[in-house]
Amino acid sequence: MKAIFIIFDTLNKRFLEYDWVHAPNFKRLAEKTVVFDNHYVGSLPCMPARRELHTGRYNFLHRSWGSLEPFDDSMPEILKRNGVYSHLVSDHYHYWEDGGGTYHNRYSSWEIVRGHEGDAWKGEVKDPEIPDHLPNMRTGNEHWRQDWVNRKYMRKEEDMPQAKTFKLGLEFLENNHMEDHWLLHLETFDPHEPFYAPQKYKDLYEDDYNGPHFDWPNYSVVTESPEAVEHCRKEYAASVSMCDNYLGKILDFMDKNDMWKDTLLIVTTDHGFLLSEKDWWGKMIQPVYNEIAQIPLFIWDPRSGKRNENRSALVQTTDLAPTILEFFNVKRPKDMQGYVLKEVIDSDVKVRDVALFGIHGAHVNITDGRFVYMRGPVNPTNKPLYNYTLIPTVMRGFIGLNQIKTITLAEPFDFTKGCKTMRFNSRFWINPYIYGSYLFDLLNDPTQEHPIFDAEIEKRMIMSMIKEMKKNDAPIEQYKRLGITIDSEITNKHCVLGEIRAEIKDKIGETEIIWKNKGKSMFYLYLNNIPKPMQDQWVLEFERIIKSKKIFEIDEEVINEAFNSYIPERLKGYFRNIPELVKRKAK
């Protein structure tokens, strides 16, 4: 038996459904496979999702971005130990950065391709030429600069990372398709931003945009012109079309070499991306809407022979590791909590009632396929919140010294195989408190535009959430952060959908105030996004300002004026879009 496992990064499922997107090979793939209509992420973003692909269990309740842990079960390593050769080919550069680093060595062999995004690849001391561009949150940082250096070395399609990655994948297939007992994990960073694709793919989309360069949107609310938005969506579509072309090469090889008779094929992504839907760009800073959470999944299982069929069963990323192990008749370890999808492929058998998903420190989300409930923190500081790990790295580096100073040893969880872990204070991308909690009815509102308020449904979803969190041995502070109880009855007092924040009395330091409009959300968003050493200073300074001006009714304008006079000039660009974000999106 053989398996090909293909991952595209940041693939928005909707773009495979739009008639205007040129993706004939994804349509061809759907005709050759079972298509899962209700496939959800587990943990976000990149490396948390990949930890789930290895371990078959949620990451986000215990930890943010990071490496595979010494106690983790790794699907490709389990295959290797059981006589199945596993080979990784990837241009996903987070694998070899700090915060990755321990994933690729779990395979029998691996090959990497350099150059995507800000991968520290080509060395040039002289600053690169950067075209006139729309305002970007990354401007001035080394990641932004490095991307423009890297682009100079990939002006021909054959020099681009995706092209090289699939060439190496096809080389592996050419050398090994007659052999047995192997897994090829073939993974490209595309269509992840920046949406940089050869001109021939851009030419598939009529685009008369002539404004500043724009192929790398901010993670923020949409502030660009309609013309710029449409242009960026077409840049993304061009990247999807490039992915489609290289997917076609794998399908061609399987056709030519009659591989469908004995080769499992899985094609999916780690998460989606908001491309102006709901007036948002990106991921990580907003609630995890279905454009991010509900992702494509195609599976061909040669044992069942089912193709050109759809499945409605609720499945997740955590199911892929146990499904691959089962295909090779390898027993899955007890800590792997995902489900084998063999019977779902065969006959759409239900394997789970609900799916839990989220980002560490953000909303904890749950869906039963009909409703999606997004539970935010009840504490405006989004605490308590801790990371549990034995490898203290995060995205592109070590954890901060201030975090290191908070490290204590935590007792083992039920999946750490008797090992204690380091516990330290977590950081988060943006304070989810500002949004409150949401409940959506996907049957009547599939695009999640109109949240509903129903205490009975909310209580039912909370109870399901607690059950799944217990199953995952979630840290006790997660329940406290969310304002739910682990072992007593859920009542109306736990329902938060109708929370009111305006006209509420509170204190800033020792000074009594009244929150007006969205002032409370604005204050805590700023507070939790400035460096930790500045936070106490900011509270003291803000209290001094309002006392000196005798302003005790606090709205967004009061906070913005004070904050802009306080924050250093070097940090102002980072906060540029926050006033608009709060105005349009906060509770």
**Domain of 458, in residue numbers:** 357-494
> Do residues 185 and 87 touch, judged by C-beta distance below 8 A?
yes
Domain check: are 477 and 416 in the same one? yes
Residues 94-122 have a mean pLDDT of 96
| Position 534 pLDDT exceeds 90 | no
pLDDT grade for 98, boundaries at 50, 70 and 90: very high
Do 164 and 287 reside in the same domain of the chain? yes
Q: Do 271 and 384 fall into the same domain?
A: no
In sequence order, which residues have a C-beta less than 8 Å from that of residue 76 and are 6 or more positions away? 54, 86, 88, 106, 107, 108, 183, 185
Burial (0-12, 13-18, 19+ Cβ within 10 Å), 569: exposed
**Residue at 350 is within a domain:** no
pLDDT in tens, 224-268: 999 999 999 999 999 999 999 999 999 999 999 999 999 999 999
Please state the rounded mean pLDDT for residues 418-443: 95
473, 494, 515 - which closes a domain = 494
Q: Which of 73-87, 204-218, 408-422, 528-542 has the lowest mean pLDDT?
A: 528-542
For residues 152 and 250, membership in a common domain is answered with yes
Kindly tell me if the per-residue pLDDT of 573 is higher than 80: no
**517 and 444 within one domain:** no
| Model pLDDT, residue 528 | 86
H or E segment at 439?
strand 438-441
CA-closest candidate to residue 11, choices 226, 196, 170, 188: 188
What local confidence, expressed as pLDDT, does residue 52 receive?
98
Nearest to 522 by CA among 560, 552, 573: 560
Q: Is the pLDDT of residue 393 over 90?
A: yes
pLDDT of residue 109: 98
Q: Note the pLDDT of residue 139.
A: 87
Question: At which of 285, 311, 345 does a domain end?
Answer: 345
The answer to whether residue 529 scores a pLDDT higher than 90 is: no
Given a cut of 80, whether residue 402 has pLDDT beyond it is yes
- Is residue 120 in a domain? yes
Q: What is the pLDDT of residue 200?
A: 98
Are residues 259 and 371 both part of a single domain? no
Query: pLDDT confidence of 163, banded at 50, 70, 90?
Result: very high
Mean pLDDT of all residues in 517-546: 90
Q: How far apart are CA 538 and CA 138, in angstroms?
A: 25
Same domain? 332 vs 196: yes
Whether residues 237 and 256 fall in one domain: yes
User: Is the residue at 351 inside a domain?
Assistant: no
Same domain, 531 and 460: no
**pLDDT at residue 576, rounded to an integer:** 79
Q: Is residue 165 part of a domain?
A: yes
The backbone torsions φ and ψ at residue 258, rounded to the nearest 5 degrees and listed phi first, read 50, 45
Residue 295: is its pLDDT beyond 90?
A: yes
CATH number at 336 reads 3.40.720.10
Contact 288, 282 (CB under 8 A): no
Residue 320 domain-assigned? yes
pLDDT at 578: 87
| Residue 405 burial class via C-beta count within 10 angstroms: exposed 0-12, middle 13-18, buried 19 and up | exposed
In a domain, 352, yes or no: no
- Look at residue 570 and tell me whether its pLDDT is greater than 80: no
Domain count for the chain: 3
Residue 243 falls within a domain, yes or no?
Answer: yes
Give the mean pLDDT of the chain.
96
267: β partners: 6, 298
Are 406 and 282 members of one domain?
A: no
Average confidence (pLDDT) over 77-103: 97
Query: How far is residue 228's CA from residue 497's CA, in Å, rounded to a whole number?
Result: 35
Residues 261-290: tens digit of each pLDDT: 999 999 999 999 999 999 999 999 999 999
Same domain, 316 and 336: yes
CA 499, CA 436: separation in Å to the nearest integer? 8
Section 501-521 average pLDDT = 95
Q: How many CB atoms lie within 10 A of CB 583?
A: 13
Is residue 499 domain-resident? Answer: no
Pick the last residue of a domain from 494, 526, 543: 494
Summarised one tens digit per residue, pLDDT across range 336-345 is 999 999 999 9
Predicted confidence (pLDDT) per residue in 111-145, tens digit? 999 999 999 999 999 999 999 999 998 888 899 99
pLDDT in tens, 303-343: 999 999 999 999 999 999 999 999 999 999 999 999 999 99
User: Is the per-residue pLDDT at 455 higher than 80?
Assistant: yes
For the chain, give the percent of residues with pLDDT over 70.
100
The reply to whether 117 and 145 lie within a common domain is yes
Tell me, what's the pLDDT at 566?
A: 86
Strand positions, DSSP E, 179-305? 182-188, 263-269, 274-275, 281-282, 297-300
